[in-house]
Amino acid sequence: MNKDTRLSDVLHVLLHLAQVDQPLTSEVLARSMGTNPAVFRRTMAGLREAGYVQSGKGHGGGWQLARPLGEITLLAVYEALNRPTLFAIGYRSDHPDCLIEKSVNAALSDTMAQAEALFIERFAQVTLDQLSPEQSELAPRH
């Protein structure tokens, strides 16, 4: 099963954008994501619409942060990407006739809802400036 790496990819791009003063082109940023510029632009569209990045066309154009990293949460990025699916676990049937299957679905649904609520709560607490290597307590000290 393929993993959806858009959230990780976009976080990587946003942190790099914070390190530069000039706009970076879709071509440069797409390479860092291992994709092509058209896919990159589609992926970033929600972040631009939400006001976290801006893009300009033509000579001197490119992508820049529209807000400081401290004003952007992991949850905001996740939502700007249209909430990628968190879990690959699914049901055999959404409307089962079997009582056992109904019980299994209810247990899975309840547990998944709790896990998603915890995920959302935690993501709302983390701003992107906390992920920057110079801000991270986990970053190796040189």
- Is the residue at 85 inside a domain? yes
Number of domains in the chain: 1
> What string of pLDDT tens digits covers the 142 residues of the chain?
577 889 999 999 999 999 998 999 999 999 988 899 999 999 999 999 999 999 998 887 899 999 999 999 999 999 999 998 887 777 777 777 889 998 998 999 899 999 999 999 999 999 999 998 764 443 443 3
- Is the residue at 138 inside a domain? no
- Please tell me the predicted confidence (pLDDT) of residue 84: 86
pTM for the full predicted model: 0.81
CA–CA distance, 123 with 128 (Å, rounded to integer): 10
- Is the residue at 139 inside a domain? no
Q: How many CB atoms neighbour CB 89 within 10 A? A: 9
Q: Which structural domain, as residue segments, surrounds residue 31?
A: 6-130
- Is the residue at 114 inside a domain? yes
- Is the residue at 55 inside a domain? yes
State pLDDT tens for residues 58-96: 887 899 999 999 999 999 999 999 998 887 777 777 777
Q: CATH no. for residue 49?
A: 1.10.10.10
- Is the residue at 102 inside a domain? yes
